[in-house]
Structure 1
Amino acid sequence: MPRITIPNKPFDLFYRISTPSKRDKAKEIDEEYETILFFHPFWVDSFHFYPQFDDPTFYENYNLIAFDAPAHGSTKVMNISPDPVTWSYHATLVKEALTILHIPSVHLVGSTMGCCPAMHFAAQYPDLSKNLIMSAPPALTEATNWSLTFRESMHILINAVKTRDGEPLDAITSVIFDYNATSHSKRLVKDLEEEYIQLTRSRLLNGELNGDITVPIIISLALSRKHIISDQQAINLKCPVLVLQGTLEGWEENDDQWVDMLEKTRRLYTEQNDGKVCDMKRVVLEGCPRWMTLTHPDLVNPIIHKFLSKSESSISSDPTQDLLQDLQIRDTNTINENHDNEQKTISDGGRRRSSIKKPLSPRDKTEFGIQPPQNGIGKSQSSSIGQVMQKDKATVDPPIIQTIPSGSGGASDGVKVKVEVVMKVD
């Protein structure tokens, strides 16, 4: 499997690549085609985007590339990083990898937490970024119950790795899938969840998941999930921006913060650019979960393709171009509603049926040493987060967590915060 060793950094980045001339086993891009760069969500890896890699609309017309983040998937971490490994830092690692691979520019697509490195990449490297698409980006303020669940999950991770117990890790994988893909998805999503359960256990057993190096990185990435770009960085973005959001399970009022943030950015952009209008759109897809790029590719992929392929003239002349026009949405009672810079699909209130299909090229799991499923492995046998917390009576020693910058939607003030993970379960 292809990897890129980042000079003077302890990372050996695994990457998944597909080109129009070589879908499988490609190692470099076809220079005559543009490139789409995908940033995967927290806890999973680049295989998350297989519905896009398997879509001929993409693999016949674009180079496709996705890197496994540090401490995720098949990326190797050889030593403790001297720098805080945040999502912004991950964007700089990917930039170095693209330079090594001689990739001059990219269209950016991020899913959930993967939107964080995508937006930081667009802000830090505007000349390399052609478009920015963020599917279910994190909001600055999240629901209290989810914040608590996330915090508990990180403590469970620390203790599970310390005791080399894989069962609590199953619960973390399950709650992440339930939150982002909903508990009503197709059997294929459940199979993928089972696969990630096995991969996580394998990484624990082979030492890839360890308390000295990789767990601090995972927690550092989790803590930087709200470190989005500042207002001024958003205004200075050169590329068009599309935000995709949904409405049903897993969605909450806090996600509407992106309505306000986009509106504020448009207003400030107009004020600072003599009345010009920036190209930032928001599309709301009724009945879709957070991981809609995985669960509903039949709806999401055409929107992504249309946004990427629109001409320069349409960008300047029609900033409110309807991305949903002419798309075949199969739900029977669905109509399109179009407002300024925002489009919605409005259904009859029902849940959209998942369109996920089996991957054309299944993941090569030999490197992970995956064995056939055994009793006790998998969602059907795993405990919930609450059950794991009740069983865990030990005091968890705080690991060394890297100092990371505080983040907000406003101006970056460079304030440093020291985060200690300490928890005692009575």
Structure 2
Amino acid sequence: MPYIDIAHGGDYASIWYVTNSPSGYVSSFNPDKPTIIMLHPFFLDSSWLDAQFGDPRISHHYNLIAFDARAAGKTISRPNGRQDAWTDAADLAYACHALWLPPAHVWASETIGANMAIRFAALFPDMCLSLTMLSVPSPTELEAFFHTCDELLHMWAHAEDIDTLEFTLMQVVAYIVGPDLDMDFADEIIAYLETSYPPFKRAILAQLGNVLMNREALTERELAAVTQPVLLIHGDKNQIHPIQYAERMAANLVNAEGGAKLFVVKGGQGYISVVPSWASISNQVFVKFLSRLPHARSELRPPTQSLDDRMIHALDVLAHLAADPSIARRADSEDISPMLFSRISREVQHLQVENYMSAARDQRKAFSPLGADGRPMRKYSERKHDHWFQGDRFWMSYAENWRDGDSDDEDHQHDAQHVGGPALEGADQPASQEVMRASAVHRAMFNPGTVERMDKYVVKSNLSRVASATAIPLGKLIIRS
């Protein structure tokens, strides 16, 4: 099976990969073709790279390999509070070493993939020929979107019915892909998210949320460590990651060979790597970028350095970039593992563990949107708008007949365009460390059993009958008249 096992000390991961080779394995790569490593978008997996694997401009001229990150796709991993984008980059290096991969071009999409790729290029320059990033992320989640993202993750993980879950996932899709999306495409993404991250698997979703919400911004010194040719592809209508951050990153990659190149996709929103029209444009730009670089062969040869030696050298590089000599000494007291590369504080590590444990508590009793066959019970577009509180395009609600005169196609378009609510104001400022820490504390402290325990203090009656309820402790009485 195409898995790579990473087992060192208390850390364990079995990384799944897929290739375009005839056998599906690296051993049948064409040595005359350069190799491209592809990193999938956040919340998705390598199966969503069909737009690249199925494009003959790429697949006919290059060896392709894609890895599922931890908590994504078919990869199996043990949750670890130390996980961050630096440890993800180390995971990729472990996989490349285990497969004897030659130096390769790295293609990465969206938040987690892009952050992993740029750290990989800085720490392991001998493994990376060039770096291409699509939908360049902001340093951290934008402050105006940060709490919205936090709330969406919470609603998703603790949804108690199909309507709540579908409403939440549609907002997620509208944010990450863009509001102007085809409803059949939205159905496909929502079905994948329901199947991969249902509420009864919310601990995995918490693991993903930890890496997303607790990530730290790269410094100018760390960006300057990237010396390979760099291509940035970004949509000018990306609401979550405004284009000024792609421009800023291009300017800060001062040592990129030939200077970092930025290509702007007109009208591009969200995940331009999965939307077919934008993906085709991005593929064309990517292929032209690679055609200008020296041709590289892909012979599979045993590494000249041992795994431990290579990782110790990378730790030295990380210690220099972080200006923290203690990082280089971690290998003296611990087994060599990707978790040695973690840059998050001990407090955040503890909060990530607490958040995961809180999400895992009683998760198997949570709501399941899947039928007996393991598939979603319905498509999102097949739901019924029969609730009186369903708002119109002006966010007004009517008791009945609010949909008179609207066609189904118009309703679906309305859902996609307006599900995210009004436009965010001041959405161009990254979240501060204080905001991120407060949010991490809140996620770790949340216990889904709290609401259940409060039910015994809720009296559903009129005020005269409640007056006799003297046994209820003061301050814990909630009256519903």
Shared fold per TM-score greater than 0.5:
yes
The superposition leaves residues 286-315 of structure 1 with CA deviations (integer Å, 9 ceiling, x where unpaired) of: 1111211111222111111111121349xx
> Does the Cα contact within 8 Å between 1:166 and 1:204 map onto a contact in 2?
no
Determine the structure 2 residue equivalent to 1:291. Answer: 271
The superposition leaves residues 156-200 of structure 1 with CA deviations (integer Å, 9 ceiling, x where unpaired) of: 24434xx7x666554443223212222322355224214313422
Determine the structure 2 residue equivalent to 1:344. Answer: none
Which residues in structure 2 correspond to 1:11-410 (within 5 Å)?
11-19=13-21, 22=22, 25-30=24-29, 32=31, 33-77=33-77, 79-81=78-80, 84-113=82-111, 114-140=113-139, 142-160=141-159, 168-200=164-196, 209-211=201-203, 214-225=204-215, 227-248=216-237, 250-251=238-239, 254-266=242-254, 269=255, 278-295=258-275, 296-312=278-294, 371=374, 373-375=376-378, 378=380, 380-381=382-383
> Does the Cα contact within 8 Å between 1:198 and 1:378 map onto a contact in 2?
no
- Secondary structure in 1 matching 2:72: coil
User: Is there any run of 5+ residues in structure 1 with no aligned partner, and where?
Assistant: 270-275, 314-367, 388-408, 410-415
TM-score, length-scaled by structure 1: 0.66
> Following the alignment from structure 1 to structure 2, what is the Cα–Cα distance between the partners of residues 140 and 228?
5
Identity of aligned residues (%): 22
> Following the alignment from structure 2 to structure 1, what is the Cα–Cα distance between the partners of residues 168 and 42?
12
- Secondary structure in 1 matching 2:175: helix
Q: CA deviation at 1:13?
A: 1.3
- Secondary structure in 2 matching 1:4: strand
User: Is there any run of 5+ residues in structure 2 with no aligned partner, and where?
Assistant: 296-370, 391-429, 431-435, 452-477
> Following the alignment from structure 1 to structure 2, what is the Cα–Cα distance between the partners of residues 382 and 100?
51
Letter in 2 for 1:108: V
Q: CA deviation at 1:123?
A: 0.9
Q: CA deviation at 1:128?
A: 0.8
> Following the alignment from structure 1 to structure 2, what is the Cα–Cα distance between the partners of residues 34 and 151?
40
Q: CA deviation at 1:263?
A: 2.2
Letter in 2 for 1:89: T
Determine the structure 2 residue equivalent to 1:317. Answer: none
The 3 A distance-change label for structure 1 pair 170 and 123 is: farther
The 3 A distance-change label for structure 1 pair 252 and 14 is: closer
> Following the alignment from structure 1 to structure 2, what is the Cα–Cα distance between the partners of residues 257 and 67?
26
Instruction: Count how many residue pairs are aligned between Structure 1 and Structure 2.
Output: 320
Letter in 2 for 1:259: E
> Does the Cα contact within 8 Å between 2:228 and 2:257 map onto a contact in 1?
no
The 3 A distance-change label for structure 1 pair 253 and 123 is: closer
Letter in 2 for 1:185: L
> Following the alignment from structure 2 to structure 1, what is the Cα–Cα distance between the partners of residues 384 and 26?
38
Q: CA deviation at 1:28?
A: 3.6
> Following the alignment from structure 2 to structure 1, what is the Cα–Cα distance between the partners of residues 55 and 176?
22
The 3 A distance-change label for structure 1 pair 372 and 107 is: same
> Following the alignment from structure 2 to structure 1, what is the Cα–Cα distance between the partners of residues 58 and 269?
22
> How much is the aligned-residue C-alpha RMSD, in angstroms?
3.5
> Following the alignment from structure 1 to structure 2, what is the Cα–Cα distance between the partners of residues 379 and 148?
27
- Secondary structure in 2 matching 1:138: coil
> Following the alignment from structure 1 to structure 2, what is the Cα–Cα distance between the partners of residues 149 and 238?
36
Letter in 2 for 1:112: E
> Following the alignment from structure 1 to structure 2, what is the Cα–Cα distance between the partners of residues 124 and 95?
9
- Secondary structure in 2 matching 1:258: helix
Q: Which has the larger radius of gyration?
A: 2
> Does the Cα contact within 8 Å between 2:16 and 2:74 map onto a contact in 1?
yes
> Following the alignment from structure 1 to structure 2, what is the Cα–Cα distance between the partners of residues 58 and 216?
34
> Does the Cα contact within 8 Å between 2:43 and 2:193 map onto a contact in 1?
no
The 3 A distance-change label for structure 1 pair 373 and 177 is: same
> Does the Cα contact within 8 Å between 1:247 and 1:287 map onto a contact in 2?
yes
Determine the structure 2 residue equivalent to 1:391. Answer: none
- Secondary structure in 1 matching 2:274: helix
Please say if 1:10 is aligned against 2:15. no
- Secondary structure in 1 matching 2:7: coil
Determine the structure 2 residue equivalent to 1:343. Answer: none
> Following the alignment from structure 1 to structure 2, what is the Cα–Cα distance between the partners of residues 246 and 189?
19
> Following the alignment from structure 2 to structure 1, what is the Cα–Cα distance between the partners of residues 384 and 154?
17
> Following the alignment from structure 2 to structure 1, what is the Cα–Cα distance between the partners of residues 140 and 266?
22
The superposition leaves residues 125-154 of structure 1 with CA deviations (integer Å, 9 ceiling, x where unpaired) of: 111111111111211265444212211023
Q: CA deviation at 1:381?
A: 3.8
> Following the alignment from structure 1 to structure 2, what is the Cα–Cα distance between the partners of residues 53 and 280?
25
TM-score, length-scaled by structure 2: 0.59
> Following the alignment from structure 1 to structure 2, what is the Cα–Cα distance between the partners of residues 70 and 381?
33
The 3 A distance-change label for structure 1 pair 255 and 369 is: farther
> Does the Cα contact within 8 Å between 1:87 and 1:221 map onto a contact in 2?
yes
Letter in 2 for 1:285: V
> Does the Cα contact within 8 Å between 2:140 and 2:217 map onto a contact in 1?
no
- Secondary structure in 1 matching 2:49: helix
- Secondary structure in 2 matching 1:14: strand
> Does the Cα contact within 8 Å between 1:169 and 1:200 map onto a contact in 2?
no
Q: CA deviation at 1:55?
A: 0.8
The superposition leaves residues 69-116 of structure 1 with CA deviations (integer Å, 9 ceiling, x where unpaired) of: 111121112x342x5121221111121111111102121111111211
- Secondary structure in 1 matching 2:212: helix
> Does the Cα contact within 8 Å between 2:236 and 2:242 map onto a contact in 1?
no
> Does the Cα contact within 8 Å between 1:246 and 1:288 map onto a contact in 2?
yes
